[in-house]
Amino acid sequence: MYEYHIEGGFPVKGTVKASGNKNAALPCIAATILTDKPVILHNLPEIEDVQVMLEIVESLGGSVRKIGTNSYELTTSNILRTDIAAQHSKKIRASILFAGPLLSRAGKAVLPPPGGDVIGRRRLDTHFLALTELGARVDIDGQFTFTANKLKGQDIFLDEASVTATENALMAAVLAEGTTILANCASEPHVQDLCNLLNLMGARITGIGSNTLTIEGVDTLQGAEYTIGPDYMEIGSFIGLAAVTHGHLSITGIAPRDMRPIKMAFGKLGIRWDIDGSMLTVPAQQTLQVNTDLGGMIPKIDDAPWPGFPPDLTSIMTVVATQVEGTVLIHEKMFESRMFFVDKLIGMGARITLCDPHRAVVTGPSVLQGSELVSPDVRAGMAMVIAALCARGESVIRNVYQIERGYENLAARLQGLGAHIERRLTCS
């Protein structure tokens, strides 16, 4: 096990390249099960979650070959098994994404309950309802067993705009008989990445980027070569880090359209940036001040399904708000346990009132003091890193495995930007 030792108070500066979108990489890896031909994926982030997904592909009978930096060739000529090992599923929630592809390709999928971040109740009902409507049978007895003779297209209205349920239904529908309409579905950039990959493989998906997708089933899918888009969650994290450390930071490889909802939220905290093509630059001289609503009312930063503000960035925004003059309400509507990490920020000196499991009022700026912390999940862990880097003194963050599940080579990349951070083996 590793931990981070961080000395705060040093501005980050320089240039960093955005990693590939973790949340696009995971379903795209699962989608390679849908064909017996090679699929080449570029810009896969070198993180723990990706490695676990690649191991699952191999365990099902596929071959995984690294062909370059962040590039892999995946081929599953034959499905040798249809069950996901518990050792894999407990590590990553995205293991559920193999249900749709295995059903389509082999007619059966057996999955233990998935693990992943503990940020509140993360229901799987939408997955089951969508796959059942396509013709699957679901048995629950300590694990989930999906079976189907032949999936058939349906007009499906999802009971929530779940990203992974949308992706599972998509991957089940592309080889189903007839036409499927998915309404009230997720439309995040990573869902769009999956749709674009599937279309390159021969699927017929229209409505990409909207909340209604139409899938005309095909008999078979072919191989393809695809480049995963940039991770706007990582980009948002680096923007927040640059702002609170008063650093000058350029981020290359961005997709400007993905930044629009994020820009609106950061703008409420007085944080701005410039975009030139695929490069985003956060200037050092920022007026970190809350922009109040009309009449001087306290503004709110709240998350929502795309194109709303991404829930994965609410933890980051909470830390950033501690360094901004004024008061703001952070409203995390989607996960009831995600805001509980704020007690650690309060212990560092932040002025935060946790109103309930979903809402926190933050008043800044506060002088944060270094502390000993434990990362509870990917995003809260990164928020703690940002807090430590703008705090006075030294901080130690443990359980960084959780952070590194979502951020590629984080300590080394931050060192390259001038941050005082070391990754050390845990002394215990």
Number of neighbouring beta carbons within 10 Å of residue 311 = 19
Containing domain of residue 419, as a range? 2-19+230-425
Q: What is the pLDDT of residue 428?
A: 59
Q: What is the mean pLDDT of the chain?
A: 94
269, 160: one domain = no
Q: What is the mean pLDDT of residues 309-338?
A: 92
Q: What is the pLDDT of residue 248?
A: 97
User: Tens digit of pLDDT for each residue in 366-405?
Assistant: 999 999 999 988 999 999 999 999 999 999 999 999 999 9
186, 266: one domain = no
Considering the entire predicted model, what is its pTM?
0.94
User: CA nearest 264: which of 301, 293, 296?
Assistant: 301
Write out the two tokens for 147. 């079976």
Please give the residue that has the higher pLDDT: either 217 or 89: 217
237, 189: one domain = no
Hey, is 314 helix, strand or coil? helix
Q: How far apart are CA 332 and CA 304, in angstroms?
A: 9
Please give the residue that has the higher pLDDT: either 114 or 51: 51
Residue 120 has pLDDT above 70, yes or no: no
* Residue of 36, 49, 117, 343 marked catalytic: 117
Instruction: Average the pLDDT over each of 22-36, 261-275, 335-349 and give the range with the smallest value.
Output: 335-349
* Residue after which a domain boundary falls, among 201, 227, 253: 227
Q: What is the pLDDT of residue 143?
A: 87
Percentage, residues of the chain above pLDDT 70: 97
- Confidence class of residue 175 from pLDDT cuts 50, 70 and 90? very high
211, 262: one domain = no
180, 302: one domain = no
Q: How far apart are CA 337 and CA 154, in angstroms?
A: 35
326, 278: one domain = yes
Residue 58 has pLDDT above 60, yes or no: yes
Residue 121 has pLDDT above 60, yes or no: no
113, 242: one domain = no
145, 8: one domain = no
Residue 10 has pLDDT above 70, yes or no: yes
Q: What is the mean pLDDT of residues 270-285?
A: 96
Instruction: Average the pLDDT over each of 123-132, 334-343, 377-386 and give the range with the smallest value.
Output: 334-343
196, 307: one domain = no
The CATH code of the domain that includes 308 is 3.65.10.10
Q: What is the pLDDT of residue 117?
A: 44
Three-state DSSP string of 16-67: EECCECHHHHHHHHHHHHHCCCCEEEECCCCCHHHHHHHHHHHHCCCEEEEE
Q: What is the pLDDT of residue 91?
A: 82
* Residue after which a domain boundary falls, among 227, 256, 281: 227
* Residue after which a domain boundary falls, among 211, 227, 243: 227
- Confidence class of residue 118 from pLDDT cuts 50, 70 and 90? very low
15, 61: one domain = no
Total domains present in the chain: 2
Q: What is the pLDDT of residue 371?
A: 97
- Confidence class of residue 140 from pLDDT cuts 50, 70 and 90? confident
192, 281: one domain = no
Is 117 an active-site residue? yes
**C-alpha radius of gyration, the chain, whole number:** 22
7, 68: one domain = no
